[in-house]
Amino acid sequence: MLCAARSAGWKRSWLSLGGSLLLALVGGLTAVGCGDDGSSNGANNGSGGAGASGGGGGGGGVGASGGGGAGGEEPVETVPPSGTELIRVNQVGYLPAAAKVATVVAAADKPHAWELVDAAGAVVDSGATRVVGDDAASGEHVHTIDFSDFTTVGEGYTLRVGSVSSHPFDVSPTIYSQMKYDALAYFYHNRSGIEILEQYVGPDHARPAGHKPDQAPCGEDIGCTYTLDVTGGWYDAGDHGKYVVNGGISAWTLLNQYERFVALGSTAGDFGDGKLKIPENENQIPDLLDEARWEIDFMLKMQVPQGETNAGMVHHKVHDLAWTGLPLAPHEDPQPRFLRPVSTAATLNLAATAAQAARIWKELDPTYSAKCLEAAKRAWTAAKANPRVIPNEGAVQGGGAYGDSDLSDEFYWAAAELFLTTGDAAYQAELAASDYSKELIGVNGTFSTMTWGQVDGLGAISLAVVPAQHAAAEREAARTQLIAIADKYLEAIAAEGYRVPFDVGEGGYPWGSNSFVLNNMLVLALAHDFTGEQKYFDGVASGADYLLGRNPMDKSYVSGYGENPLQNPHHRFWAAQVDPEYPSAPPGAVSGGPNSGLEDEVAQEALDETAERAKCTPQKCYLDDIGAWSVNEITINWNSPFAWTVAWLDEKAKSAQ
C-alpha cells in the first residue's frame, strides 16, 4: 500500500471535460468542477455534483418520506439544458424498503419541480425539490429529491428536472444480491501463494500463483537471522506487500460478519459452503470462513518461533526490497522479499484475530481452534512483556509503513477477543481498566470509529455481537456505546449536503475516505440490529447511495457497477490502463476515494493543485487513474467493510419484502 512507483513506460490517460465545467444555467442550476478539470478519468460523465441534506418535506431525518415537499414554497419551473451531470443518484438503484434520495446542483434558493419517469417514459411520481443550500464538503449549492414513498419495483427509472435527467436506476430488493459476492471475490483475486483459477474468476483474471513459496529472511537491519515461510495471505493493496496490521482488521471484519450470522441464528447466511467461487467451496466449512482463514494462516506464520529472540512477537510485514513498477503480475515480481521488524501492534493484531478464530473454529475444527488460541495467548504474553515496540519504517522502500504509536486500542481489542473466547478474569480486568470501556475514540480526529490504526471499535463490536454469557454486562455497555455513535452518524447525514455518514474534518477528507464511510455504515447496521429502528437502515442505505453515484463526482466508486463505475484503480495486475494485455478490475472493488492530501503527483497535476493543495473541495479531490494512488488505490481493509455492508443491505432488503 501507499506505493508511488511507476514503470518507465507508465502513461496517464484521463478525459478533460473542458475546464472547470462551470455552467450558468437558465433557472439557476449550476455544476462546479474541481480545480481546472473536474473530471475523474476515462468514462467520468461530468465533474459537477449535487447534494442533499435532511429529509424531504422539510424534515431533517434520514428516512424522510413524501414527495420532497418544499416547505410551503411554490415550485419554480426551470428549463435547464439536457444532460446527466446535474442530478446525482445511486446509479445501481434503490431498495423499496429504504429511503430514496437524489441530489441536484442548483444555485436557486427556490425549489424546482421534479418527475420520476419509468422505462416506458411515463411519469410515475413527482414533487418539488427541497432547498438545502451551500455544502462545504462539495463546494456546491444543492437541493434534494426525496421519493421514499415510491416502492414500485422496476428497472430503468430516471429522475427529471426540466430537461435534465439522471442516470437510469432500478428500484429493487435485489440490487445488492450479486454485489455482495463480487465484493468478497476481491479477496480470492488477491490471494498470494495460490494459482487463481479460470473456473472461479474467468479467463481474463486467471493467473499463476504469486510468491509461492514466500520464503522471507529477516531484513539485514533488524537483527534476526532466521527465514520464515510466510506463503499465503492476501496482497494488501496495489502492491505485493502483506501486512499483519492491515490484515488484522480485514480478516476480523469477515469473521465478524460470520459471528453476526451465528448470533442471529444462522450458520453463515448466504455464504455457506458452496456459495463462493473459491477452491474450498466443497469442504463442509462456510466459504466466508475459508476466505478469512487464508489470511489468518498467513498471520500465524508471521509469529516469531519458540526459541528465538522475541518469541511470540509478530513481524509487522513482509514485502519487496524496493517498489516495483506498473504493470506487474505477482508471479513476475523480480524483487527479493524480506521480513520487517516485530511490533507490538502486529503482535496484538494476531492476539485478537487468532482468539476470534479460536472460538469460531472450536466446533468446526478443534485442532485448528487450539492452534489459534495458543498463538493468541503467546502473542498477548509477548506484547505485555514488550508493550511499546514501534519500528520506524517511514523511510523503508518497497512497502507501506503502517506506523502506529498509540497501542492502547490494540490492547483493548485483544483483551476483548481473548475474554470473549476464554472467559478469563484477567482479560476482563484489562477491559475494565481501559478508558475505551467508557468511551470509544475517533480515528485521528476524523469522524469514524475504526480503521487499521484505531481498533478499539473492533473490540466493542465483538463484545456487542458475540452472545457469550460471561460477557453480558460488557455486551450491553458496548451496544449502548455503538448506538450513541450511530446517532452521531445520523446527525452527519442530516447535516451533510450529500447525506453521507461522514463529517468533514479540519483537514478535509482523509486518505481512503470511502472506507471511513463504509465502517460508519457498519456501525449504523449494527444499531439497526440492536434496536430495529428504521432510521439506521436508512442511514446504511444513504452511505451506499453516496458510494454508488450520489456524490459530486457523479461516480460509482465500485468497479462494474453503475453507469460511471470505477475503471482504473491503482493495482499492479489490474492494469489495462497502462497495458491492454493486462485485465481491468473485476466487479466489486471499491476505491479509497476523495483525499484532500493528494499525495501523488498524478492527482496533483490533473487537479491543478499547488503546494498548498487547497483548490479542490474535499469530495472532489479524486481522479480515476491508475497512477493516482493516493485517491484511487484499493485495499483489503476497504473491501472488507464493503462486503459486510452490502451483504447486510441485501439481507435486510429481502427480509422486508
Q: Per-residue pLDDT averaged across 201-223, rounded?
A: 95
Q: Which of 146, 182, 410, 633 is catalytic?
A: 633
Half-sphere exposure of 493 (CA within 13 A, CB side): 33
**Which stretch of 34-48, 387-401, 472-486, 537-551 has the lowest confidence by average pLDDT?**
34-48
Mean pLDDT value across residues 546-570 = 98
0.85 exceeded by the pTM? yes
Identify the pLDDT of residue 261: 96
Identity of the amino acid at 243: Y
| Of 570, 571, 609, 625, catalytic | 570
**Residue the block writes with cell 414554497:** 73
**Average pLDDT score over residue span 597-620:** 80
pLDDT tier, 3 (very low <50, low <70, confident <90, very high otherwise):
very low
The pLDDT of residue 266? 85
Return the CATH number of the domain spanning residue range 179-476: 1.50.10.10
C-alpha–C-alpha distance, residues 241 and 338, integer Å = 10
* Greatest mean pLDDT range, 44-53, 271-280, 615-624: 271-280
CA-nearest of 647, 636, 551, 646 to 239 is 636
Cβ–Cβ under 8 Å, residues 187 and 638? no
Coil/strand/helix, residue 304: coil
Helix axes 513-531 and 534-547, enclosed angle (nearest 10): 160
> Per residue in 190-211, pLDDT tens?
999 999 999 999 999 999 999 9
Summarize the confidence of residues 167-189 as an average pLDDT: 99
Could you list the beta-strand ranges (E) of 218-287.
227-229, 242-243
Phi/psi at 527 (5° precision): -60, -40
pLDDT at 12 over 70: no
Q: What is the pLDDT of residue 73?
A: 47
Is the pLDDT score of 59 beyond 50?
no
Are 350 and 302 spatial neighbours (Cβ–Cβ below 8 Å)? yes
Q: Where exactly are the structural domains of the chain? A: 179-476
DSSP letter string, 584-640: PPPTT-B-----TT--SHHHHHHTT--TT--SS-GGG-----TT-HHHHB--HHHHH
Burial of 197 (0-12, 13-18, 19+ CB in 10 A): middle
Strands, E, within 288-421: which ranges?
314-315, 317-320, 337-339, 342-343
pLDDT band at 607 (very low <50, low <70, confident <90, very high): confident
> How many other C-beta atoms are found inside a 10 Å radius of the C-beta of residue 143?
32
DSSP state of 433: H
User: What is the rounded average pLDDT of the residues 335-352?
Assistant: 98
- The rounded distance, in Å, linking the Cα atoms of 300 and 415 is 18
- Please tell me the least confidently modeled range out of 71-75, 200-204, 327-331, 452-456: 71-75
Least confident of 34-48, 469-483, 508-522, 643-657: 34-48
Least confident of 42-46, 376-380, 544-548: 42-46
CA–CA gap between residue 27 and residue 107 (Å, rounded): 8
Statement: residue 182 has pLDDT above 80:
yes
Annotation marks residue 570 as catalytic: yes
At 221, the pLDDT band (50, 70, 90 cuts) reads: confident
- Of 131-140, 149-158, 488-497, 614-623, where does mean pLDDT reach its minimum? 614-623
> What is the rounded CA–CA span in Å between residue 46 and residue 482?
38
pLDDT over threshold 90, residue 124: yes
pLDDT of residue 506: 81
Cα distance between residue 259 and residue 355, in whole Å: 13
Asked whether 305 and 381 are in contact (CB, 8 A), the reply is no
| Residue 10, pLDDT above cutoff 80 | no
Distance of alpha carbon 277 from alpha carbon 297, whole angstroms: 20
Between 241 and 13, residue with greater pLDDT: 241
Q: Does pLDDT of 28 surpass 50?
A: no
Residue 267 has a pLDDT of 80
**pLDDT the model gives residue 490:** 97
pLDDT band with cut points at 50, 70 and 90 for residue 657? confident
Residue 408, pLDDT above cutoff 60:
yes
* Mean pLDDT of all residues in 561-588: 99
| Cα–Cα dist 406/189, whole Å | 33
Instruction: Give the pLDDT mean for 312-316.
Output: 99
Rounded distance between C-alpha atoms, residue 108 and residue 106, angstroms: 6
Residue 614 is predicted with a pLDDT of 52
Q: Mean pLDDT throughout 491-514? A: 93
C-alpha 493/C-alpha 543 separation (Å) is: 9
- Of 103-117, 152-166, 431-445, the poorest mean pLDDT is in 431-445
Query: What pLDDT is stored for residue 443 in this prediction?
Result: 65
Backbone phi, then psi, for 463, in 5-degree steps?
A: -60, -35
d(CA 402, CA 248): 12
Q: Hey, which bits of 291-390 come out as E strands?
A: 314-315, 317-320, 337-339, 342-343
Of the candidates 220, 383, 353, the residue with the CA atom closest to the CA atom of residue 292: 353
Q: How far is CA 169 from the centre of its chain?
A: 22
Q: Does residue 49 surpass a pLDDT of 80?
A: no
Lookup: cell for 399: 512497502
Looking at 392-471, list the stretches that DSSP marks H as alpha helix, in order from N- to C-terminal side: 408-422, 425-433, 456-465
pLDDT at 223: 83
In three-state secondary structure terms, 255 is helix
CA dihedral 281, 285, 291, 295 (to 10 degrees): -140
142 contact partners, CB below 8 Å, separation of at least 6:
49, 50, 51, 52, 53, 103, 104, 105, 106, 132, 133, 135, 497, 498
pLDDT digits (tens, 9 = 90+) for 63-118: 333 333 333 445 454 444 334 458 999 999 999 999 999 999 998 899 999 999 99
Query: What's the CA gap between 350 and 381, in Å, rounded?
Result: 12
* E strand spans, 316-467: 317-320, 337-339, 342-343
Residues in the chain: 657
**What is the greatest pairwise CA distance in the chain?**
79
| 3 state SS for 543-568 | HHHHHECCCCCCCEEEECCCCCEECC
Chain-wide mean pLDDT for the chain?
88
- Per the DSSP assignment, residues forming a β-bridge with 159 are 116
Q: What is the pLDDT of residues 461-499, one digit of tens each?
A: 999 999 999 999 999 999 999 999 999 999 999 999 999
DSSP annotation of 576: T
pLDDT of 444 over the 90 cut: no
* Alpha carbon separation from 606 to 64, 487, 632 (Å, rounded): 38, 38, 13
Which listed residue (239, 563, 624, 650) is catalytic? 624
pLDDT above 60 (res 355): yes
Whether residue 331 lies in the annotated active site: no
What is the rounded end-to-end Cα distance, in angstroms, of the chain? 41
Cα separation values, 312 from 247, 350, 375, 390, 528, Å: 18, 10, 8, 16, 39
Query: When comparing pLDDT for 414 and 13, which is higher?
Result: 414
**Are the beta carbons of 534 and 588 closer than 8 angstroms?**
no
Q: What one-character-per-residue DSSP string does 7-44 give?
A: -TT--------STT-----TTS-----STT----STT-
Is pLDDT at 576 greater than 60 in this prediction?
yes
Query: Does 616 score more than 60 pLDDT?
Result: yes
Task: Give the integer Cα–Cα distance in Å for 442 and 110.
Answer: 38
Closest to 40 measured CA to CA, from 596, 613, 634, 568:
568
